[in-house]
Amino acid sequence: MILVTGGAGFIGSNFVLDWLAQSDEAVINLDLLTYAGNLENLTSLLGDTRHIFVQGNIGDSTLIASLLQQHQPRAIINFAAESHVDRSIHGPADFIQTNIVSTFHLLEAVRTYWDNLHVDAQTTFRFLHVSTDEVYGSLTKNEPAFTEAHPYQPNSPYSASKAASDHLVRAYHHTYGLPVLTTNCSNNYGPHHFPEKLIPLMIVNALAGKPLPVYGDGQQIRDWLYVKDHCSAIRRVLDAGTVGEVYNIGGWNEKPNIEIVRIICTLLDQLHTRADGKSYNEQITYVTDRPGHDRRYAIDASKIARELGWKPIETFDSGIRKTIAWYLANQDWVSNVTSGAYKNWIEQHYKAQP
């Protein structure tokens, strides 16, 4: 079996569902269930004995040691993290604690477990660390996309904390021989995406008749990948990646934020016409920029294509249509996650805006 951390969040839940749709190998899913973790993402697995959910912290060494001892997983895929850049600007402490300190405790527990495995199991064991393109910093318009050799230049507390965790993972391979793999992926979108992030926030706000808050001039560029393509890339790296290597994952799909928001509005105009017949584009509002906002990310995903034969299946057009269709069909999921603490975050974060 495998151990997945953070498997109740956006990407982790998509990964667990895809894994069990394609394999009978069981999954232990360890998730703290922070505001971003949601068991509703996994309701289709209720009663499925291949899925063992454990609520707990990757920083809890005793819990990790006992889970590893009891289940003897052949691999760990580490998704668990604090993931939202704006929250890291308002309150970096949780990011340092989870993404650095707790990842360190996880690595220590995994090292002890791996040290005590039989030599055959040691050879096949993998620790796959899921990271981000943001560790590479920001690109100007004409600079080439990030390769795996690009220097680390993280600019936000979030990306700095992820960079630190990447360095720890690397060090555990070089120093202790732990068989690690690291993936650095671009911006994901798709089902279960928490509506604090650009694409789901725009869909949810549009449908609620609220302003669509575009930071600064809206010309920041992100490289978007449908979440199921990220999951297939992780499975491929786990199967065939070379131990100690880093693989960049991306969709070859750079778009300025304002274009993303306009595409969403245009599709919603077709699929869920506004009651007054006007376009959702009318809800777009430019707001104060994010402090330290990275201008452009772009992933050069040629290594994973060349060495492991992976490439994305979805185009942005097909992926965004699936995403919007999912949000339209899952209004209950949206209502459940946009109550309580979510409301407080939105009010606090966007309060200074017109």
Among residues 158, 189, 226, 247, the one annotated as catalytic is 158
Count of residues interacting with ligand NAD (CB under 6 A) = 31
* Residue with Cβ nearer ligand NAD (10 or 172): 10
Residue numbers 262-301 binding ligand NAD by CB under 6 A:
none
Interaction of residue 232 with ligand NAD, rule CB under 6 A: no
25: annotated active-site residue = no
Contact 280/269 with Cβ under 8 angstroms?
Answer: yes
* Residue with Cβ nearer ligand DAU (173 or 349): 349
Interaction of residue 98 with ligand NAD, rule CB under 6 A: yes
176: annotated active-site residue = no
Interaction of residue 9 with ligand NAD, rule CB under 6 A: yes
Phi then psi for residue 296, to 5 deg, are -150, 135
Residue numbers 33-72 binding ligand NAD by CB under 6 A:
33-34, 36-37, 57-59
Binding-site string for ligand NAD from residue 118 to residue 137, where x marks contact by CB under 6 A and - marks none = ------------xxx-----
**Distance of alpha carbon 231 from alpha carbon 74, whole angstroms:** 18
Interaction of residue 103 with ligand NAD, rule CB under 6 A: no
Q: Determine the interface stretch with ligand NAD among 32-40, 269-277, 279-287, 303-311 (rule: CB under 6 A).
A: 32-40
Contact 178/111 with Cβ under 8 angstroms?
Answer: yes
Q: What is the DSSP letter of 128?
A: E
Q: Determine the interface stretch with ligand NAD among 30-38, 253-261, 320-328, 329-337 (rule: CB under 6 A).
A: 30-38
Residue 57 partner contact from ligand NAD, ligand DAU, none using kind-dependent CB cut-offs of 5 to 8 Å: ligand NAD
The 10 Å CB-count burial string (b at 16+, else e) for 83-92 is bbbbbbbeeb
In the three-class reduction of DSSP (H, G, I as helix; E, B as strand; rest coil), residue 276 is classed as coil
Q: Angle at Cα 95 formed by Cα 92 and Cα 99, nearest 5°?
A: 155
**Distance of alpha carbon 292 from alpha carbon 154, whole angstroms:** 11
133: annotated active-site residue = yes
Name the residue whose CB lies closest to ligand DAU.
Answer: 132
Q: Determine the interface stretch with ligand NAD among 46-54, 141-149, 182-190, 295-303 (rule: CB under 6 A).
A: 182-190
Contact 292/153 with Cβ under 8 angstroms?
Answer: no
CA nearest 262: which of 246, 248, 240, 280? 280
**Distance of alpha carbon 99 from alpha carbon 83, whole angstroms:** 9
CA nearest 259: which of 184, 317, 191, 300? 317
Q: Which of 10, 95, 127, 310 binds ligand NAD (CB under 6 A)?
A: 10
Interaction of residue 83 with ligand NAD, rule CB under 6 A: yes
In the three-class reduction of DSSP (H, G, I as helix; E, B as strand; rest coil), residue 203 is classed as helix
Residue appearing with tokens 């809206």? 218
- Min CB(264)–ligand DAU separation in Å: 12
Phi then psi for residue 141, to 5 deg, are -55, -40
Residue 182 partner contact from ligand NAD, ligand DAU, none using kind-dependent CB cut-offs of 5 to 8 Å: none
Name the residue whose CB lies closest to ligand NAD.
Answer: 9
Interaction of residue 194 with ligand NAD, rule CB under 6 A: yes
Interaction of residue 169 with ligand NAD, rule CB under 6 A: no
Among residues 133, 229, 300, 314, the one annotated as catalytic is 133
Task: Give the chain's length.
Answer: 354
Residue 136 partner contact from ligand NAD, ligand DAU, none using kind-dependent CB cut-offs of 5 to 8 Å: none
Hey, what long-range contacts does 121-125 have (CB within 8 A, 24 or more apart)? 121/72, 121/74, 122/179, 123/179, 124/74, 125/74, 125/75, 125/179
Q: Angle at Cα 177 formed by Cα 67 and Cα 7, nearest 5°?
A: 35
**Distance of alpha carbon 246 from alpha carbon 129, whole angstroms:** 10
Interaction of residue 253 with ligand NAD, rule CB under 6 A: no
Single-letter residue type at 21: A
- For binding to ligand NAD (CB under 6 A), which residues are involved? 5-6, 8-12, 30-34, 36-37, 57-59, 79-81, 83, 98, 102, 130-132, 162, 185, 187-188, 194
Q: Which sequence positions are flagged as catalytic?
A: 133-134, 158
